[in-house]
Structure 1
Amino acid sequence: MNRKMAHFINDNIDEILEKWLVQMKDDSEERFFHIMSDDVIERTSREFAELMVSNLFDSEKHYENRLNEFTQKVVRFGWSISFVLKGITNFSTIVYQEMEKEKVITEENIKDYLDIFTDWITPMRDGIVETYAKTWERTVQLQKIALQELSASLIPVFDKISVMPLVGTIDTERAKLIMENLLEGVVKYRSEVVLLDITGVPVVDTMVAHHIIQAADAVRLVGAKCMLVGIRPEIAQTIVALGINLRDFTTTSTLQRGMEEALAWTNRQIVEVEEA
């Protein structure tokens, strides 16, 4: 019966997918069907159908490979786990209704087919949840690592002058990474002046300020000066309101002004040269 059901789905796949897409597009919370091209929607929907059929007659290894590939794709597309599960439920319901309409499912064999549907859908739902969770966790972890690396790099801009742009929320874990990259970069580039640019830090509270002060103290211990740049008016008000002591810092509102100050510290300046 499993193969008979799989053949029925394959033979009627266009009609099944058409009805499935109508139901899935009615989900107002799902952006995939509203922002993706018709070609991408068509391919992804057919891959979903192939996955559903694969569970009926493919080997366990082949099915698991399909499951992993499809799950990774829909995670990138932003499908929520609830949407994926809804897709499974809608697909199986449509298949049942179509088989009943075509008299494949009758009163005589309905119990057998109900057992088949249960054995078909239950392990698929469980497998989807497990695989989706693992894929999503891995994706988030990779994105987190990439963001940390991109937002905590010391960049040499002039001889003896380096800049570290900080982006996003600074928690204890990121503060440790910032400290490590900062000290390694100061030694590597032989920096005498380091500019910590907090333009991209949305909130500076007592904890964030504590991490910044620790970073500046560490820089001074390896023989370099540290400057805090990118202090917006609302950040300045927050710092004052919280009573955070930044008196040991040289601070500027913009990276440009900080760079001018850093050049002065290293006995240099930017001048305009008239063309001959």
Structure 2
Amino acid sequence: MKGIRVGSSEAVVRQRVAKALQANADTVADRWVELQMAQDELRTGIGERELREEADTLIAALVAGLDTELPVSQVVNTHGELRRAVIDLSLRRARGGATPTATSLAVLLLKEAVLEAVQSATDESAELFAAALLVNRLLDAAGALSFDTYVEGREEIIRRQSRQLLELSTPVVRLWRHVLAVPLIGTLDTARTQIVMENLLQAIQEHEAQVAIIDITGVPTVDTAVAQHLMQTVNAVRLMGADCVISGIRPPIAQTIAQLGIDLSKILTRASLADALSEAIKLTSDTAHQGAVRR
């Protein structure tokens, strides 16, 4: 064991634990897999083969982490290979649908398999007790890291899924040559406005659109915040060189806009999507005619 400075009692214990892991790696891996397979809640979305691959990777990383001069309390969070092994395991469990508690418990079950290997390698109770303390400190830190990683990874998955749902709920539809439409349904908040704007501007560029219709028929209410979001989108569309039409201005919404004093006079509005499409076709026809005249 090249990295450990022999001389302290902890160094000696670390050597013995690392040697026991090396000599019994397959046995420890099999035992850990067996312990997990015995508990249904620990096998969510993960098969026996994957469990064995995880076991081989983590045990090898534990041996490498013990073969350093890092304090036991810092090995898991500081040793690159070991930290990466724990994080990968936790993220894989998160994607598989396991709970954070089950993920941490799976890591902590490794204690039993490791201690069985250490016990078979020594007959001295004092040495076994010291090894148990070391293994507990090491794998408790691994369990805590797996829990934190799971929570962070799950939050990232939820954020990504939320964005995907927003994108699905705000499709950009090509209605006519050079005419696009975005049918909005539900509340228009800042996050959704950003998605709408990004998707619409990208589609305008791809389709060389001249008119973009924003249909708010499915938006239940329009307040000052919603109006500001619409204005931002309209301004962005205009910066791309396209005209913008807002459709779906129902009587209650028109009344609310008037009562709030929201100025939409500079924006072309229509009561229905059909009216907006008719206006958009006129706009594109006029643009095409003007281009022909200039030629």
Q: Do the aligned partners of residues 223 and 42 (structure 1) sit closer, same or farther apart at CA in structure 2, a change above 3 Å counting? A: closer
Q: CA deviation at 1:152?
A: 5.4
Q: Do the aligned partners of residues 145 and 55 (structure 1) sit closer, same or farther apart at CA in structure 2, a change above 3 Å counting? A: same
Q: 1:53 aligns with which of 59, 76, 81?
A: 59
Q: 1:118 aligns with which of 108, 122, 136?
A: 136
Say whether the 8 Å CA contact 2:122–2:128 is kept in structure 1: no
Residue-by-residue CA offset, 1:83-137 (whole Å, 9 max, x unaligned): 21121223324554x4598696763433222222123213323433454455445
Of 55-64 and 167-176, more deviation after overlay is shown by 167-176
Q: Do the aligned partners of residues 87 and 206 (structure 1) sit closer, same or farther apart at CA in structure 2, a change above 3 Å counting? A: farther
Q: Do the aligned partners of residues 8 and 206 (structure 1) sit closer, same or farther apart at CA in structure 2, a change above 3 Å counting? A: farther
Alignment RMSD: 4.4
**1:192 has 2:211 as partner:** yes
Q: 1:19 aligns with which of 13, 19, 35?
A: 35
Distance in 2, Cα, partners of 1:89 & 1:46: 16
Q: Do the aligned partners of residues 69 and 94 (structure 1) sit closer, same or farther apart at CA in structure 2, a change above 3 Å counting? A: closer
Question: Secondary structure, in 3 states, of the residue corresponding to 2:105?
Answer: helix
Question: Secondary structure, in 3 states, of the residue corresponding to 2:214?
Answer: strand
Matches within 5 A, 1:104-253: 107-132=125-150, 135-136=153-154, 138-140=156-158, 142-143=160-161, 154-166=172-184, 170-179=188-197, 182=200, 189-196=208-215, 206=223, 209-211=226-228, 213-215=230-232, 218=235, 224-228=243-247, 240=252, 244-245=256-257, 249-252=269-272
Say whether the 8 Å CA contact 1:163–1:196 is kept in structure 2: yes
The higher radius of gyration belongs to 2
The residue aligned with 1:81 is 100
Q: CA deviation at 1:145?
A: 5.6
Distance in 2, Cα, partners of 1:95 & 1:134: 28
The residue aligned with 1:10 is 26
Distance in 2, Cα, partners of 1:168 & 1:18: 49
Say whether the 8 Å CA contact 1:164–1:195 is kept in structure 2: yes
- Equivalent pairs: percent with the same residue? 17
Q: CA deviation at 1:142?
A: 4.9
Q: Do the aligned partners of residues 244 and 176 (structure 1) sit closer, same or farther apart at CA in structure 2, a change above 3 Å counting? A: farther
**Structure-1-length-normalised TM-score:** 0.62
Say whether the 8 Å CA contact 2:90–2:147 is kept in structure 1: no
Q: Do the aligned partners of residues 206 and 42 (structure 1) sit closer, same or farther apart at CA in structure 2, a change above 3 Å counting? A: farther
The residue aligned with 1:255 is none
- Structure 2 residues without counterparts, runs of 5 or longer: 1-15, 66-78, 284-295
Q: CA deviation at 1:210?
A: 3.0
Give the aligned length: 241
**Structure-2-length-normalised TM-score:** 0.59
